[in-house]
Amino acid sequence: MAAPALELRGITAGYGRIEVLHDVSLSVPSGTVFALLGPNGAGKTTTMLVASGYVRPTAGCVHVAGTHVNRVAPENLAKAGVCRIPEGRGIFPNLTVNENLRMFTYSSPFSTSEVQEKSFARFARLGERRNQLAGTLSGGEQQMLAMSRALVSDPGILLLDEISMGLAPKIVSELYELVGQLAQEGISILLVEQFARTALAVSDYAAVMTGGRIAMVGQPADVADFVNEAYLGGAA
Amino acid sequence: MEFVQLLVVGLVTGCVYALSATGLVVTYTTSGIFNFAHGAIGMLGAFTYWQLTVGWGWPAALALPAVLLVLAPLFGAGVERVLIRPLHGASVDVTLVITLGLLLFLLGAANYIWDPATSRVLPELFTSGGTSIAGVNLSSQQILIVVVAVAVALALRTLFSRTRIGIAMRGVVDDPDLCAMSGASPARIQQLSWAIGASLASVAGILIAPKVGLSSIQLTLLVINGYAAALFGRLKSLPRTAVGGILLGIVVEMYPVYIAPHVPGFSTTATELTKAVPMIFLGVLLLFLPSARLRTSTAAGRIAPTVPGLRQSLVGGVGLVVVAVVLTESLSSDNLGIATSVVVLAIALLSLVLLTGYSGQTSLCVLTFVGLGAWAMGHSGHSVLGLLWGALLAGAAGALVALATARLRGLYLALATFAFAKGMDEAFFYFHLGAGQQLEIARFRLPGIDTSSASTFFLLCTLVLAVASVGVLAVRRGRWGRQLTALNDSPAACATLGVNTTVTKVAVFTVAAAMAGFAGGLYGSSRGIVTNNDFAVLGSLALLLAVRVGGINTITGAVFGSLTITMFPEIQKHVHGLPDKLQLAYLLTGLAAVSVGRDPDGLGGQFSRLGHHLRGLRTPPSSSPTGIPELEEARLVHS
């Protein structure tokens, strides 16, 4: 069996003196979608930062496709196929749409024109606004632009951090349609989301984090029950 | 026709300013750090070029690419790697200290390598030739400058809009982390920008050196004039920067002919202002900058050195006077003179502790206030009231500076005070104390005290220092001191609490300037003769850095700064084999600043922590914003 796309083993990490993650282990098998759920401050984003090299764990190790990557710089991890779409808008507001797409070519096997072609084919609206400054796009359009990087960088593991944040439901479902499509193409995805139901609908495995620890791991259906009963009071 | 000729000359000068300013803007936008050493790097480039061509006889065709494409970029990249990269996330204040330290260090180093007493001439690249278009004469060098400026502008435009690395250089400004997420290394991109900046500074230095001569200080300050152009572009826009440079060049060349003689009633004064035009330009631009948002808080949880209590500070003051009494018995009268200088300068530097240390207002013009005090003293005969006039004059100047810069903080305040110091240097001190006419200052007389005796005067100054130190510490402990510290920590919080930040700022500037002016009166009295060189802007920089190394929020820092800056030249006289003109003070102060400048508390802070340690007290926790680690952790984890 192939090595998992991403594996965290016994990770302890934090910011300065404050420890945020306590002995976190999780494994995203190759070609699957893994949803990481949990309340604010549970350590989900920190887990993402550890996986993409921004926060160095104080204990434990990070493996990407079977390779130990604890001390690799973020930009080199990005080139090696770890693609993180950050919380908020992962775009350069003072560059045009085209120039943003050109930045993606640092970690993409495709040329600039191929990158444009693929992005505009998926998100026609970006094509209409190709010479506009990215900062002047609507929130949804900005997130589409950010997601284009996932589309063109052929990632070994895709890390999506709350892509639905602050967006209209219609756009969220459009974005999750893309996530589903990427999963179908066999891309491994680690997904952090507050809307448990939306995330569970596209995932193969799921885990719930709380207080910097993994509280439960399992099939989406089991996790959904656990989440509804114990943590979100059935609101999700 | 003269008008057109001047216009052309102004355009050429403007192109040099634009080249220099462009380099500055490229590094600033990409790395977020304003490189005060930009002028010094340009100076170094010009000297290196002189060494290769005139010194070692290389042909220009070989030396030019060697300097501009190899040495300067390597130097810039090296500076980024060694000094700038570790500054990631540092406060503006720290970056100022590091780049100012680099400026002084490079000046000191250049004077060590190339003895300033020897005169050197850098020939123009094309000495012959030139042409005349419609009656306007153009030398080949002038044409070359314009061609180079246009070529650089086009090259940069292509770089930033057409190439991927250029787009990444623009992108890294917005979000370095996102840059790394895309696979582009932010550190490498910033390193490239420093390489380009150093190269452009060198181009400007090499092009302007034949006109102004190879003087390290002149060249450094001349390239600094380009800062005004950079500010015209708001430190962001390259086209606006270029326009700013050309405008500045034209104004500088036109001013003495078309503006100054026509100011009714003040034509002499107006003519004296000629050399200060770039700094006036810079000052005016700073006035029109849009207001920055009030900063909310500095680096979390930094614990300032302990402030001594009243008893402790009184004991210290008495101790100081006792030491002084012992010294008067043992020192020769020459050495007493040096000791007096140390004490007097320390009084001036106490004003920096109050202004920059406690309330966080960066000031690069402390010597200007000292100079104003000395000037007032020189016009007061033997009257002790001269000290008061000096304090009043300097205090008034300080209030004006504070009012004009009320909205500015950090980098812009530093630039504004720098412009004030340099402008006063060139327009006031040069004409009233310099150019061969030094100012003789009679020592004031006090009834019943023989001030003309070296030891009595020394004791008197020490007494003033002791009283001033105790006073500054008392201010720090009091209500106003808390306001100043609050202003330093978080101007926004200050404003929401109902503290009028502008009034507080003007008040602290006025008091600090008056203190420096008072010290200036003592300084003049102790020296007897002062010249404009005593109050040069570079001296203010060196003093600020020396105090910073010593610990800018402690009395120790002021004494340390004054000791080092006064003693270096004296030590130097007694060390054999050192060239006379070597500015050891600049070299070592710069070196110290770049090496320990990252600790905002300096040596004074270290002493304070050592004191804590010796007394068996636990060192205060330093990294948690609330100061209560358990609470902080609980909030983060369980919310």
How far apart CA A73 and CA B613 sit, in angstroms, is 38
pLDDT for B509: 95
pLDDT for B222: 76
Chain A interface test: which of B163, B181, B636 (most A C-beta within 10 Å): B181
* CB B368 within 8 Å of CB B397: yes
- CATH code for the domain in which residue B147 is found: 1.10.3470
Residues B254 and B375 in one domain: no
Domain boundary among B235, B254, B288: B288
Please choose, from the candidates A153, A97, A131, A154, the residue with its C-alpha nearest in 3D space to the C-alpha of residue B184. Answer: A153
Residues B203 and B243 in one domain: yes
Q: Sheet of A18-28: strands edge to edge?
A: A18-28, A6-15, A59-64, A67-68
Residue B558 lies in a domain: yes
Contact B182 A104 (CB under 8 A): yes
Contacts of B633 in chain A (CB under 8 A): 18-19
Residues B231 and B334 in one domain: no
pLDDT for A190: 93
Largest CA distance in chain B: 83
- Helices (DSSP H) in chain A: which residue ranges? 44-51, 74-79, 97-104, 112-122, 124-128, 139-152, 169-184, 196-202, 220-226
Residues B205 and B337 in one domain: no
pLDDT 10s digits, B453-467: 888 999 999 999 999
Residues B59 and B192 in one domain: yes
How many domains does chain B fold into? 2
pLDDT for B582: 53
Q: Is the pLDDT of residue B301 over 60?
A: no
Please choose, from the candidates A202, A204, A208, A203, the residue with its C-alpha nearest in 3D space to the C-alpha of residue A225. Answer: A208
In this prediction, residue B302 has a pLDDT band, given cuts at 50, 70 and 90, of low
pLDDT for A234: 44
Q: Is the pLDDT of residue B265 over 80?
A: no
Q: Residue B174: which of A40, A73, A94 has the nearest Cβ?
A: A94
Residue B96 lies in a domain: yes
Contact A41 B167 (CB under 8 A): no
Contacts of B183 in chain A (CB under 8 A): 75, 78-79, 106-107, 153
HSE-CB of A214 using CA atoms within 13 angstroms = 19
| Average pLDDT along chain A | 86
Residues B284 and B390 in one domain: no
Residue B185 lies in a domain: yes
pLDDT 10s digits, B34-48: 899 999 999 999 999
Residues B33 and B80 in one domain: yes
Please choose, from the candidates B404, B370, B403, B407, the residue with its C-alpha nearest in 3D space to the C-alpha of residue B387. Answer: B370
Residue type, B3: F
Residues B109 and B234 in one domain: yes
pLDDT 10s digits, B514-559: 999 999 999 999 888 888 888 888 889 889 988 988 888 888 889 9
Which tokens belong to B542?
Answer: 């060196």
In this prediction, residue B608 has a pLDDT band, given cuts at 50, 70 and 90, of confident
Evaluate if pTM is beyond 0.90.
no
In this prediction, residue B284 has a pLDDT band, given cuts at 50, 70 and 90, of confident
Please choose, from the candidates B543, B468, B470, B550, the residue with its C-alpha nearest in 3D space to the C-alpha of residue B511. Answer: B468
At A190, give phi and psi (nearest 5°). -110, 125
Residues B138 and B245 in one domain: yes
Residues B464 and B368 in one domain: yes
Task: Give buried/exposed letters for B597-606 (b at 16+ CB in 10 A, else e).
Answer: beebbbbbbb
Cβ atoms within 10 Å of B631's Cβ, excluding its own: 11
pLDDT for B351: 95
How far apart CA B572 and CA B292 sit, in angstroms, is 45
Residues of chain A with pLDDT under 70: 1, 229-236
Q: Which domain holds residue B239?
A: 2-288
Angle at the Cα of B410 from the Cα atoms of B406 and B413, rounded to 5 degrees: 45
Residues B390 and B501 in one domain: yes
pLDDT for B448: 81
Residue B244 lies in a domain: yes
Residues B274 and B317 in one domain: no
Largest CA distance in chain A: 49
pLDDT for B597: 66
Chain B interface test: which of A23, A99, A108, A142 (most B C-beta within 10 Å): A99
